[in-house]
A and B are shown apart, each in its own frame.
Chain A
């Protein structure tokens, strides 16, 4: 028990949680935007793979780090455009399109990797983002190390969450996007372009997912491996529901989930680790997420028009 408190009170533990949470924050914000506009984006896992590859490849071929992030963003937006075109104006099944895009994005990335780097070796490394201690803030006890000695991309994740919250809840554009997810007919009746808004949300959201992927190759690590996204996209889908489609709560969910993850890594080395199989630790964050959902369950928050296609003038 005291071991648990020691872990929970250490700055390095929370620093790890924030690091682990960062890619989830980007991608979950992306998913949140899509779902707020009424589109479930199951392409998230594949789009993260694309972003991880594109950002890393861009830097490897000579671009700067931030331009690399931009390339990742653009690659995600390209797949977002495909997703949006199929699901919004054509109103096709969001399940098939999403899973299909995950398959397409993943395999296309691997194919591109093979063609770009046919010689088999350890994948090359890039000069990834280094941690940057924010002067002043990083000297604060506990939070200084946990929050303010991260890489710039982690700071960007938090800024993104704040920006998403601001745009969604404080601007006319955000209102229109949210209304698209609640009742697209109401949006159309105000003369606003539902199709354009939904497509835009999916494209931008997909771009953020790709940046989440790029975090893995440009900040958490410094090269690209197949399958390294490893289910993080699916977690983000859960995080959005956990966060009741609100950016703040979703961010909190991401940090909590990451904290569970960081905790299970550490608990494996305690006495518990000798008693429980390692799978129990790996499963803990998922089981705790489900339990958290049961405690929090508030179904009313689901965007009413989520997964409901809209065509103007249809009965």
Chain B
């Protein structure tokens, strides 16, 4: 298209290993590898420092800033307002109409895939007792848990769920202990929102469902299915908009939906042939319906609780 690479800066409040952020980071690196962008990033930025870092990058002349402003919505919009020539593509709880014209929002709307992973889980559980360990009950986590639970119920109406939040993004030993407790309490499938949960499942010989990233390679006997977030469609759409000079306030959240390729169910891999056909059929049917726009999974951002 005659354009050289645009300059993109990522600003993340956690290290880039964190699942959610890692998807953005990997998409950006892929775009950089293709030569579409020049990419640099700053990680582990406290929210107190976030507006300053935004401003520094904007001052340095980057074309687009990608990041997450859940904790600094108001200040971030102020900064964006001062740099109308810079595109801001930000993970945010709000919608595009609340901010300046150059700030677009996105989030991990992968409830479709989470729902499908729930169907598989529902078909694999024997006890009907499912354990779920999360970091914090924020919308990005809650909506996937709800979608997953809805999927499970498609196969097991009587399923019960154990839900716990460990109050930390990075404490695999704690997540593991929490998972152990749930397994002792009868869970035979673990929903692995955090690192450490699949490890507990593996050690105790129960199954796990992955989330956001695919970790089956690490737990071949344990992780049955995963709902994967692909940030590439979001990133690529934003890059194209910037290059075309058409970047405006918009909700890029749609690009995370399954029909846009923003999420998918990971290949069954080692569990090929081990999942009941009945479930696979339902998954195929619903996936087609979702992609055709005939079926939508409810987006429920409220905190899930234990129970049925």
Contacts and interface: CB of A to CB of B under 8 A. Distances in A.
Contact of B17 (A20, A122, A220): A122
Nearest to A125: B218
Nearest to B26: A120
A118 B185 CA distance: 40
A176 to B, nearest CB: 36
Nearest to A128: B199
Nearest to A268: B164
A122 B306 contact: no
Interface string B154-176: 00000000101111111111101
Contact of B180 (A16, A120, A125): A16
Contacts of B305: 273-274
Interface string B136-170: 01000000000000000000000000101111111
Contacts of B103: none
A148 to B, nearest CB: 18
B25 A278 contact: no
A162 B177 CA distance: 26
How many chain B residues sit at the interface, stated as a range, is 35 or more
Contact of A221 (B16, B169, B173, B180): B173
A228 B170 CA distance: 5
B72 to A, nearest CB: 20
B196 A12 contact: no
A10 interface: yes
Nearest to A273: B306
Contacts of B167: 278-279, 282
A216 interface: yes
Most buried by A among B44, B171, B213: B171
Interface in B211-233: 213, 215, 218
B17 A227 contact: no
A226 B173 contact: no
A168 B184 CA distance: 40
B306 A120 contact: no
Nearest to B168: A230
B208 interface: no
Interface string A265-276: 110110001100
A266 B195 CA distance: 19
Given A221-B176, A221-B199, A269-B182, A122 B168 contact: no
Contacts of A155: none
A216 B196 CA distance: 11
Given A265-B177, A268-B306, A269-B164, A226 B171 contact: no
A19 B177 CA distance: 9
Nearest to B217: A122
A221 B175 CA distance: 10
B199 A266 contact: no
A194 interface: no
A262 interface: yes
A283 B203 CA distance: 28
Interface in A191-235: 216, 220-223, 225-228, 230
24 contacts: A19-B177, A20-B173, A20-B177, A110-B15, A120-B25, A120-B29, A121-B17, A121-B22, A122-B213, A123-B17, A125-B218, A221-B173, A221-B176, A221-B199, A225-B170, A225-B172, A226-B17, A226-B44, A230-B171, A261-B177, A266-B185, A269-B162, A269-B181, A273-B305
- Of all A-B residue pairs in the complex, the 6 with the closest CB atoms, nearest first, are A220-B173, A227-B170, A225-B170, A226-B15, A221-B172, A230-B171
Given A269-B181, A269-B306, 16 more contacts: A12-B180, A120-B25, A220-B176, A221-B172, A223-B195, A225-B170, A225-B171, A225-B172, A226-B15, A228-B170, A228-B173, A230-B174, A262-B181, A265-B164, A278-B167, A279-B167
